[in-house]
């Protein structure tokens, strides 16, 4: 039986053309009591995902890498949709209250809600420098301005992390790769749920190995960010 073991030439960071891209840094995913949290709690804990996401954010801010964050919001008007979604979309729409907001402009009820950012990340995401994009609806960066934000900054290399490795984050990864950018996925800053076919985290790792330019740990990513920033100053 053939096993695919090929590795790309090592992805090299360039501080002026590299960004950290995150998806779904929100209470419903990352905070106990969040509606999506029970589906990925075991994986969040096993891989220490919140801690590793914060390490990446801290490094990006310290070493001068742009941060692009793609949140996941739904508004009451989205309940007017009639086209059938897939299994997870149907579950989120009918079984749980998921990343809901009152209105695109009116923020009543937003603070502290499942759609809001966890408190520990607000100092990074709300510092006036992080680009928090318009919401993705579903899993794709095609439904918001992530690609626009990257292109307008002349970004060519991306480091990626987020709590839903196999759905939103993988969807964003695929879109960014299709735009011709290099992508490094951070394997211990992502998590995944389970269904009757198996472990979504492992499924994501399989696909990352096929599609991404690199698959790093948080420690590796931070070391590389520091090294290129230090070399740039020297």
- Domains assigned to the chain: 18-233 (3.40.50.850)
Q: Supply the Cα-derived Rg of the chain in whole angstroms.
A: 17
CB 79: neighbour CB atoms within 10 A? 9
Q: What is the pLDDT of residues 106-129, one digit of tens each?
A: 999 999 999 999 999 999 999 999
pLDDT for res 98: 85
| Helix, strand, or coil (residue 139) | coil
Task: Note the pTM of the prediction, 2 decimals.
Answer: 0.95
d(CA 209, CA 67): 24
- Kindly state the percentage of the chain with pLDDT values over 90: 80
Q: What is the pLDDT of residue 138?
A: 86
pLDDT confidence tier of residue 234, bands split at 50, 70 and 90: low
Bridge partners (DSSP) listed for residue 131: 68
Beta strands at 198-199 and 157-162: parallel, antiparallel or unpaired:
unpaired
Say how far apart CA 140 and CA 176 lie, in whole Å. Answer: 10
The per-residue pLDDT for 84 is: 84
Residue 233: its pLDDT value, please?
65
Which candidate, 97, 59, 61, 65, places its Cα nearest to that of 78?
A: 97
Q: What is the pLDDT of residue 85?
A: 82
CA quadruple 135, 179, 211, 196: dihedral sign: positive
Query: What tens digit of pLDDT does each residue of 154-209 get?
Result: 999 999 999 999 999 999 999 999 999 999 999 999 999 999 999 999 999 999 99
Note the pLDDT tens digit of each residue in 15-74: 999 999 999 999 999 999 999 999 999 999 999 999 999 999 999 999 999 999 999 998
Q: How far apart are CA 52 and CA 6, in angstroms?
A: 27
| pLDDT number for residue 179 | 97
Two tokens, residue 144 = 């918001």
145 close to 174: Cβ distance less than 8 angstroms: no
Q: Rounded to 5 degrees, what are φ and ψ at 98?
A: -120, 120
Tell me the C-alpha distance between 54 and 74, whole Å.
Answer: 25
Going from the C-alpha of 126 to that of each of 10, 121, 150, the distances in angstroms are 33, 8, 18
- Per-residue model confidence (pLDDT) at position 87: 83
CB 25 within 8 A of CB 65: no
């Amino acid at each position: 039986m053939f096993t695919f073991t090929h590795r790309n030439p090592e992805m090299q960071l360039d501080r002026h053309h590299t960004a950290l891209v995150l998806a779904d840094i929100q209470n419903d995913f990352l905070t106990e009591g969040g509606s999506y949290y029970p589906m990925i709690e075991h994986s969040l804990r096993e891989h220490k995902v919140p801690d590793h996401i914060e390490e990446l954010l801290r490094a990006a801010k310290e070493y001068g890498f742009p941060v692009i964050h793609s949140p996941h919001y739904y508004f009451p008007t989205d309940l007017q949709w009639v086209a059938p979604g897939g299994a997870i979309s149907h579950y989120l729409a009918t079984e749980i209250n998921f990343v809901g907001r009152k209105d695109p402009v009116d923020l009543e009820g937003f603070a502290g809600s499942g759609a809001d950012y966890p408190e520990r990340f607000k100092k990074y995401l709300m510092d006036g420098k992080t680009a928090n994009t318009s919401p993705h609806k579903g899993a794709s960066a095609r439904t918001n301005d992530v690609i626009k934000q990257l292109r307008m900054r002349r970004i060519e290399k991306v480091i990626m992390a987020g709590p839903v490795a196999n759905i939103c984050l993988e969807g964003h990864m695929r879109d960014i790769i299709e735009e011709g950018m290099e992508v490094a996925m951070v394997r211990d800053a992502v998590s995944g749920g389970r269904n009757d076919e198996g472990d979504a985290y492992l499924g994501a790792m399989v696909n990352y190995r096929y599609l991404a330019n690199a698959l790093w740990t948080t420690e590796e990513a931070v070391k590389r960010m520091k090294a290129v920033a230090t070399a740039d100053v020297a």
